[in-house]
Structure 1
Amino acid sequence: MGNLTVWPAPAKINLFLRINGRRADGYHELSTLFAILDRGDTMTLEPRNDGIVRVFPDMGFPTESNIIFKAIKLLAEITGKNIGADVHVDKRIPMGGGLGGGSSNAATVMVALNHLMNLGLSEDELARAGRRLGADVPVFVRGRSAYAEGVGEKLTPVAIPEKWYLVVTPENTHVSTREIFMHPDLPRNTPKMPLEDLMKNPRANDCEGLVKKIYPEVATALSWLLKYAPSGMTGTGASCFGEFPDEDAAVRACNSLPDNISGFVARACNVSPLHELLGKLKAAK
């Protein structure tokens, strides 16, 4: 179709994550605060109207199992149209880090193709569809910092301080979310409480103790980060984040990273880079 465009797929961190119980269907009741960052992957999209989906570069597994492929096919299913795309991903978000890379990729491709191909789906419709792909997809579809409850599907936009963070990930450490949530030692009984009470214990993460026990590399990375700033683990790990008063302080810490830990500096944003771009494109029409 000759409509080549570049779109951001931002990372996220969970500023806190509390587990309030386990439901009969095996899913967990959660309370968490999502902060979308101004850094992440970049995706170059070229829509196709022949139903073909190609994802580059080769991720080392079948394209059909890639969440990007699934997102495009889901769009085709719910619209009844022969939607396809060529998608090039500049992957910067570490996999298995709890930073939402796959979910963000899926959300970006859905939001972008909805705009580029004039599919006419509302944000609510896209978010409901995204929920079928993964619990974190709707927060990226909506593109706002948010308080999440239930299994992550109940989202309430929350304006948060747009602070600077150093996000670090131990090299070659990929934490399995399924392993953590299935583990018998995972705490599952944190009482539900109002958001203002949850905010009094920032960076609390009910998964952290178990993850550090199973993955000592995460414990090492968090210990290093705590020397520089108030810090916590995001999601089920392996990535951790430190909160800094300004960009310069975060960059200085980043420049001191040990060889076996990678990191990047980012700012939390109440409106995601994806929706900043979408707003500009809509205004230019």
Structure 2
Amino acid sequence: MSATAASVDAQAKVNLRLCVLAREASGYHQLESLFLRIDLADTVRVATDTTQRELHCPGLALPQDQNLAYRAAVAFTEAAGWPTGFHISIDKRIPAGGGLGGGSADAGAVLRALNALAPKPLAADVLNTVALRLGADVPFLTMDAPFALGFGRGERLLALRPLPAREILLALPPFGVETKAAFSWYADATAGQPLRAPAPITLDDLDRWDRLVPLAVNDLEAVVVARHAAIGQCVDAFRTAGARIARMSGSGSTAFGVFDRRLAQEPALPADTRLVHTRSLTSVAPVKLLD
């Protein structure tokens, strides 16, 4: 008898590099990004032995049908013609609005779980297309790679050899940053300026932590920090503590630091900012089929 339920650890990500490129006529920006999975994760469970469409997530702020995980299940159902119903439960640990891809990780986990359960799984390119319709981070968080270079809106991905695991500290302020707002601030700040090409990179540059250091940039950081100084204070605190790389992740509000070893003393952060110890990953959590 085939399994009708699966569980996945929906692992968060940080952006070691985020370059904002040309703006399309649609208003979306092309991007170049280095995605890295970390071991902070939500737990996502998906069951298909139901005719209902349900999502259970304690503290859910959005209506069910606006949740990205729910939308992922609907999108999979439409693409695969299966299942007729689903029940999704999520134990949240990744903060919303933090630039860690929490909602996208949940959506990617749902797509991976349903594809593992499906009697006729979707081909990788089809699954990638479904993921892209949900958001720029979802394709990476659906693929089976812990480290990747992304282009475009996130649909063009090159899986990279995993880097050795490193200690990562996250600074989580008591507020989030909306992705749409961050890109709007960036567009306003760069209006009328000539497009700057990002520093070129080679595959050799992406093979070692020391070669990554000068490539670690985030074009959104300056405009977000201008409105939320606490994020910049966290980045500075990590650098002072000896971080090999210290940046804001994605559109914020999380700051992260990559360290060669666990610190003996925690860095001083602004009031009400939560410090989380995590690590980079060398593999992606597998889908676990449940009895």
Same fold (TM over 0.5): yes
> What does residue range 1-285 of structure 1 map to in structure 2 within 5 Å?
3-144=4-145, 145-161=147-163, 162-171=165-174, 173-183=175-185, 184-186=188-190, 189-196=195-202, 199=212, 201-228=214-241, 229-230=243-244, 231-246=246-261, 248-249=262-263, 252-253=265-266, 259-273=271-285, 277-278=286-287
- Matches of 1:217 and 1:46, distance apart in 2: 41
Cα shift at 1:51: 4.2
TM-score between the two structures when normalised by the length of structure 2: 0.85
Name the amino acid aligned to 2:252. Answer: G
For structure 1, which runs of at least 5 residues remain unmatched after alignment? Answer: none
- Matches of 1:166 and 1:24, distance apart in 2: 38
Cα shift at 1:217: 2.1
CA contact (8 A) 2:172 2:274 kept: yes
For structure 2, which runs of at least 5 residues remain unmatched after alignment? Answer: 207-211
- Matches of 1:49 and 1:73, distance apart in 2: 14
C-alpha change, 1:5 and 1:101, in structure 2 (3 Å) is same
CA contact (8 A) 2:234 2:269 kept: no
Cα shift at 1:58: 4.7
CA contact (8 A) 1:19 1:190 kept: no
TM-score between the two structures when normalised by the length of structure 1: 0.87
Q: Please report the RMSD computed on the Cα atoms of aligned residues, expressed in angstroms.
A: 2.6
CA contact (8 A) 2:132 2:154 kept: no
Matched-pair identity in % = 30
CA contact (8 A) 1:38 1:272 kept: no
Cα shift at 1:221: 2.1
CA contact (8 A) 1:19 1:189 kept: no
> What count of residue pairs does the alignment treat as equivalent?
275
- Matches of 1:167 and 1:58, distance apart in 2: 22
Deviations 1:224-267 (Å, cap 9, x if unpaired)? 22221241111111101111112x32x7427x656511132222
CA contact (8 A) 2:173 2:231 kept: yes
- Matches of 2:58 and 2:260, distance apart in 1: 37
- Matches of 1:57 and 1:2, distance apart in 2: 26
